Structure 1
Amino acid sequence: MEEAQILDVARDGIYTMILMAAPILLSGLVVGLVISLFQTLTQIQEMTLVFVPKILVVFLATLVLLPFMIRTLTDMMTRLMDMAVSLP
């Protein structure tokens, strides 16, 4: 396996990781910002108010995005196996 192929596999792995993690992390970020804005506007300074909605949204986002995540991992694994078969 040449260096270019190794770099392509590494780049593909990092891209897949970002593609799978970004929607879930962004949904948690949006919920955190909305709740922080709500806390600021109402002057509620409860630290635990953020955790339950954020956990629920991240869990629901994971459930909704699970088919996309499985398809993405399957495509990457198929490409890796095709590369492994074509190695001399």
Structure 2
Amino acid sequence: MNEADALDIVQYAIWTVLVASSPAVAVAMIVGVGIALVQALTQVQEITLTFVPKIVAILIVVAFSAPFVASQISSFTNVIFQRIQDGF
């Protein structure tokens, strides 16, 4: 295994993490901006108002996007095992 192989594996691992976490992060950003907008319009500055809807939205998205995340991780695992089998 040389430096190019190691960099390729690290690059693929980082890409897998970014793609697998993107549904939850995107929903957290959208819900956060929406709640911030509502708080700015109504001038209600309740701190728990920001956390509870985000947690609920993220849990729902993680439940629905679990097959996608699992397929991304499975694909990465298959690539790593294939490289191990081929001897890098």
Q: Determine if the TM-score, normalized by the shorter chain, exceeds 0.5.
A: yes
Give unpaired runs (5+ residues) of structure 2.
none
Q: Determine the C-alpha separation between the residues in 2 that align with 1:23 and 1:71.
A: 14
The match for 2:71 is 71
Q: Tell me by how many angstroms 1:10 deviates.
A: 0.3
Q: Give matches, 1:42-53, under 5 Å.
A: 42-53=42-53
Question: Runs of 4 or more off by more than 2 Å in structure 1?
Answer: none
| TM-align CA RMSD | 1.0
Give unpaired runs (5+ residues) of structure 1.
none
Q: TM-score, normalised by structure 1?
A: 0.95
The match for 1:33 is 33
By relative contact order (CA 8 Å, sep 6+), the higher-ranking structure is: 2
Q: Determine the C-alpha separation between the residues in 2 that align with 1:74 and 1:21.
A: 14
Q: Tell me by how many angstroms 1:26 deviates.
A: 1.2
Q: Determine the C-alpha separation between the residues in 2 that align with 1:24 and 1:48.
A: 20
The match for 1:59 is 59
Paired amino acid for 2:28: G
Q: Tell me by how many angstroms 1:20 deviates.
A: 0.9
The match for 1:19 is 19
Q: Determine the C-alpha separation between the residues in 2 that align with 1:86 and 1:72.
A: 21
Residue-pair matches, total: 88
